[in-house]
């Protein structure tokens, strides 16, 4: 049987940085060539970054992607890798009209190409377009209608793009019909908790359906709210894991595969009307050195470590890809801002994390003490800016009372953070968690100001778990736990009036979060939530708070998605709506 040494480049790419992404493709192709690869693959839309959203509708961007692809093919040959077939995801346009989708020729396509000998040996487009959750691919793309098969080193390799694996029909059964020896799927699959298990099951099932070995190449890094967690997988036709790459780490997975030799050239029209497009690539060896590694199995992270690492990855990607180096956080001594600070220190290094303690007359003794302790433990930069003088000036001018007076403190902190951001160039992090965002427990233009919300998709009960996990992980490695024990153990409080605690206004977080998970994450209605065993009055209250906070969530900064239903593109609700689960809104 012929050996195929496959190089799966599990790498990060930056949306819009076509030149930088091309450079990275050359770098990793060199790496693969030096290790004797026969076939090199890169993730979905690696050349443009993913997702490009409405950039796909701009023909200047589509043309830039196409011409960069052609240049890249020439460049790879000029660098001495012309013999090595390289699969590169990019943004293309269709050559022909697609009347079935009401699209003229020239409509954008989510495509990939096989670069070989200085040219483009084959182009193909994603067949199944995801159009749920964070995806809107029907808005942008027309689907591909071929089954691309390349013959490399005597093996027929069928090619697919991400969603092609997730939907029944299409390229998976077509791969079996074409008798391919390997199905290679290039992906950009956003992180969600536990999705690694779902992907593994999916890949196993599809290998069996395709009747061949399946290689699943993942992307790493982050893009706005999305994190790409790596975890490329190769499974045999029997579903055994041959190789599994590390989560969240960029790198090249090299794997030697024993695959059946290709027979007669497959042709014809298969399931879903897919026409086989077969290209035989005759190649000369390009290896310069003896290979060092092949395959391997990276252990999975524990659930808490996985979520925490996703949060670190998402924040780091947002800050660095937007050209910043440092962040600013209001440090109250509470658990939310402490966890955000710990994530920021891990993402950017403590020297790039700036904290501001902003005591008011309602701040407790320990709020400053806990913030100082956090700074001591992590090494972040801390300063203190008392807000009492500003508060007194506003109060003298406006004579506020009640909630208006309480919220003024929060807004003065927000203004102070934005002023320091403008002056010193750090971007502000908003420390709100998913429980607070759900019920609107934050002040507009106050504690909700900021550029990025690292924990906006993390329920408060998970905030506690992650803080404990981070401390335990530091202790296990002989380091200093970053988060002061007191920030974890004291009752959560906004400290906007004397003796205030969160439970004055909200139910206990463990009950609140369980109700929210049903309502927000699973779209269940009031009756179904009550039937799950929750108190009807409490459910009514939580649902009402959630419904009427939509306007606040829309104004909240973006933040890392870790769930299947983050407050962003995953959950789109009207702001103006009289629908209530409890009956028509009174106002």
Ligand X SMILES: NC(=O)CC[C@H](N)C(=O)O
Ligand Y SMILES: Nc1ncnc2c1ncn2[C@@H]1O[C@H](COP(=O)(O)OP(=O)(O)OC[C@H]2O[C@@H]([n+]3cccc(C(=O)O)c3)[C@H](O)[C@@H]2O)[C@@H](O)[C@H]1O
Query: Shortest approach of ligand Y to residue 495 CB, angstroms?
Result: 8
Considering only 178-186, 249-257, 379-387, 438-446, which stretch makes contact with ligand Y by CB under 6 A?
A: 438-446
> Is-contact 443 410, C-beta < 8 A?
yes
Residues facing 258 on adjacent strands: 3
Compute the Cα dihedral for 342, 344, 347, 351 and give only its sign: negative
Q: What's the token pair of residue 357?
A: 């303690």
Name the residue nearer to ligand X (CB basis): 136 or 271.
136
Q: Is 295 annotated as contributing to ligand binding?
A: no
User: Closest-CB residue for ligand Y?
Assistant: 410
Q: Does 444 bind ligand Y (CB under 6 A)?
A: yes
Query: Shortest approach of ligand ATP to residue 80 CB, angstroms?
Result: 53
User: Closest-CB residue for ligand ATP?
Assistant: 334
Query: Could you give phi then psi for residue 44, rounded to 5 degrees?
Result: -55, 130
Contact set for ligand X, span 514-533 (CB under 6 A): none
Residues 6+ apart with CB under 8 A from 113: 69, 73, 87, 88, 90, 92, 120, 121, 122, 123, 124
Name the residue nearer to ligand X (CB basis): 21 or 360.
21
Q: Is 577 annotated as contributing to ligand binding?
A: no
User: Which option in ligand ATP, ligand Y, ligand X, none does residue 334 bind, with CB closer than 5 to 8 A by kind?
Assistant: ligand ATP
Encoded one letter per residue, x for contact with ligand ATP by CB under 6 A and - for no contact, window 484-513 reads --------x-xx------------------
Query: Shortest approach of ligand X to residue 181 CB, angstroms?
Result: 24
- Concerning whether 162 is annotated as a catalytic residue, the answer is yes
Q: Does 189 bind ligand X (CB under 6 A)?
A: yes
User: Which option in ligand ATP, ligand Y, ligand X, none does residue 443 bind, with CB closer than 5 to 8 A by kind?
Assistant: ligand Y
Query: Shortest approach of ligand X to residue 189 CB, angstroms?
Result: 3
Question: Which secondary-structure segment (H or E) carries 77?
Answer: none
Residues 6+ apart with CB under 8 A from 212: 158, 175, 176, 180, 181, 182, 183, 237, 259, 260
- E strands along 94-212, which residues? 108-116, 119-125, 146-152, 155-161, 182-186
Q: Is 254 annotated as contributing to ligand binding?
A: no
- Please identify which residue in 10, 65, 378, 410 interacts with ligand Y, judged by CB under 6 A: 410
- Please identify which residue in 145, 231, 306, 447 interacts with ligand Y, judged by CB under 6 A: 447
Instruction: Choose the catalytic residue: 23, 34, 44, 434.
Output: 44
Contact set for ligand ATP, span 427-486 (CB under 6 A): 431, 436, 447
Compute the Cα dihedral for 38, 39, 42, 48 and give only its sign: positive
- Please identify which residue in 42, 81, 441, 567 interacts with ligand Y, judged by CB under 6 A: 441
Work out the burial of residue 500: count CB atoms within 10 Å of its CB; fewer than 13 is exposed, 13-18 middle, 19 or more buried: middle
Name the residue nearer to ligand Y (CB basis): 207 or 390.
390
- Concerning whether 517 is annotated as a catalytic residue, the answer is no
User: Closest-CB residue for ligand X?
Assistant: 189
Query: How would you classify residue 375: left for phi > 0, otherwise alpha for psi between -120 and 50, otherwise beta?
Result: alpha
Query: Shortest approach of ligand ATP to residue 508 CB, angstroms?
Result: 14
Cis omega (within 30 of 0) for bond into 464: no
- Please identify which residue in 82, 330, 453, 481 interacts with ligand ATP, judged by CB under 6 A: 330
SS3 338: helix
Find the angle CA(414)-CA(313)-CA(252) to the nearest 5 degrees. 160
Q: Is 195 annotated as contributing to ligand binding?
A: yes
- Please identify which residue in 46, 47, 84, 162 interacts with ligand X, judged by CB under 6 A: 162
- Concerning whether 126 is annotated as a catalytic residue, the answer is yes
Residue carrying structure tokens 């050349």: 47
Contact set for ligand Y, span 504-523 (CB under 6 A): 505
| 455-484: b (≥16 Cβ within 10 Å) or e | bbbbbbbbbbbbbebbbebbeeeeeebbbb
Give the integer Cα–Cα distance in Å for 500 and 135: 41
Work out the burial of residue 30: count CB atoms within 10 Å of its CB; fewer than 13 is exposed, 13-18 middle, 19 or more buried: middle
Q: What's the token pair of residue 283?
A: 């190649």
Q: Does 386 bind ligand X (CB under 6 A)?
A: no
Give the integer Cα–Cα distance in Å for 371 and 493: 14
Query: Shortest approach of ligand X to residue 315 CB, angstroms?
Result: 21
Query: Residue ranges of the alpha helices (H) in 129-169?
Result: 137-140, 163-166
Give the integer Cα–Cα distance in Å for 344 and 353: 7
Name the residue nearer to ligand Y (CB basis): 398 or 472.
398
Instruction: Choose the catalytic residue: 126, 321, 456, 561.
Output: 126
CA 174 to chain centre: 30
Sequence ranges of the binding site for L-glutamine: 132, 189, 195
List residues near ligand Y by CB under 6 A. Answer: 403, 407, 410, 440-444, 446-447, 494, 496, 505, 551
- Residues contributing to the annotated binding site: 132, 189, 195, 330-337, 407, 436, 552
Chain residues that interact with ligand X, rule: CB under 6 A: 44, 130, 162-163, 166, 188-190
- Give the residues lining the site for ligand ATP (CB under 6 A): 330-332, 334-337, 356-359, 363, 367, 413, 431, 436, 447, 492, 494-495
Supply the residues annotated as catalytic: 44, 126, 162
Binding site for ATP, by residue number, is: 330-337
């Amino acid at each position: 049987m012929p050996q195929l040494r496959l190089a799966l480049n599990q790498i990060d790419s930056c949306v819009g940085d076509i030149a930088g992404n091309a450079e990275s493709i050359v770098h990793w192709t060199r790496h693969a060539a030096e290790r004797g690869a026969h076939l090199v693959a890169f993730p979905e839309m690696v050349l443009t970054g993913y997702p490009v959203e409405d950039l796909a509708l701009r023909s200047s961007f589509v043309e830039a992607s196409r011409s960069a692809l052609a240049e890249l093919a020439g460049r790879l040959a000029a660098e001495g890798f012309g013999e090595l077939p390289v699969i590169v995801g990019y943004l293309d346009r269709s050559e022909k009209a697609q009347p079935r989708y009401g699209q003229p020729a020239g409509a954008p396509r989510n495509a990939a190409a096989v670069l070989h000998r200085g040219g483009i040996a084959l182009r193909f487009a994603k067949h199944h377009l995801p159009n749920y959750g964070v995806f809107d691919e029907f808005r942008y793309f027309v689907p591909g209608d071929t089954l691309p098969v390349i013959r490399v080193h005597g093996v027929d390799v069928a090619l697919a793009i991400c969603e092609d694996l997730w939907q029944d029909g299409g390229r998976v059964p077509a791969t079996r019909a074409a008798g391919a020896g390997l199905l290679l799927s290039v992906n950009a699959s956003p992180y969600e908790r536990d999705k690694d298990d779902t992907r593994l099951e999916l890949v196993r099932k599809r290998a069996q359906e395709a009747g061949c070995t399946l290689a699943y190449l993942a992307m790493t890094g982050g893009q706005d709210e999305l994190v790409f967690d790596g975890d490329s997988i190769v499974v045999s036709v029997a579903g055994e894991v041959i190789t599994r790459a590390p989560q969240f780490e960029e790198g090249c997975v090299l794997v030697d595969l024993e695959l059946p030799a290709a027979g007669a050239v497959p042709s014809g029209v298969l399931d879903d009307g897919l026409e086989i497009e077969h290209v035989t690539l005759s190649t000369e060896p390009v290896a310069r050195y003896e290979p060092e590694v092949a395959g391997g199995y990276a252990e999975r992270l524990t659930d808490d470590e996985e979520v925490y690492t996703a949060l670190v990855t998402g924040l780091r990607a947002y800050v660095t890809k937007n050209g910043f180096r440092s962040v600013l956080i209001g440090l109250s001594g509470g658990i939310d801002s402490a966890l955000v600070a710990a994530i920021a220190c891990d993402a950017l290094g403590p020297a790039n994390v700036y904290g501001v303690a902003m005591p008011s007359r309602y701040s407790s003794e320990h709020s400053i003490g806990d913030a100082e302790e956090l700074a001591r433990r992590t090494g972040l930069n801390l300063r203190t800016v008392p807000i009492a003088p500003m508060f007194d000036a506003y109060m003298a001018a406006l004579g506020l009372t009640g909630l208006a007076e309480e919220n003024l403190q929060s807004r003065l902190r927000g203004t102070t953070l934005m002023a320091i951001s403008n002056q010193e160039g750090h971007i502000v992090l908003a420390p709100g968690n998913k429980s607070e965002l759900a019920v609107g427990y934050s002040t507009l233009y106050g504690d909700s100001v900021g550029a990025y919300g690292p924990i906006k998709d993390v329920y408060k009960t998970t905030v506690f778990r992650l803080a404990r996990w981070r401390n335990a992980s530091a202790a296990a490695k002989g380091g200093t736990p970053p988060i002061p024990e007191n920030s974890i153990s004291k009752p959560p409080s906004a400290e906007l009036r004397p003796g205030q605690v969160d439970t004055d206004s909200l139910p206990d977080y463990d009950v609140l979060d369980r109700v929210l998970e049903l309502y927000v994450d699973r779209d269940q209605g009031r009756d179904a939530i009550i039937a799950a065993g929750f108190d009807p009055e409490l459910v009514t209250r939580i649902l009402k708070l959630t419904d009427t906070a939509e306007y606040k969530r829309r104004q909240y900064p973006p933040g890392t998605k870790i769930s299947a239903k983050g407050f962003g593109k995953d959950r789109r609700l009207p702001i103006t709506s009289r629908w209530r689960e409890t009956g028509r809104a009174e106002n």
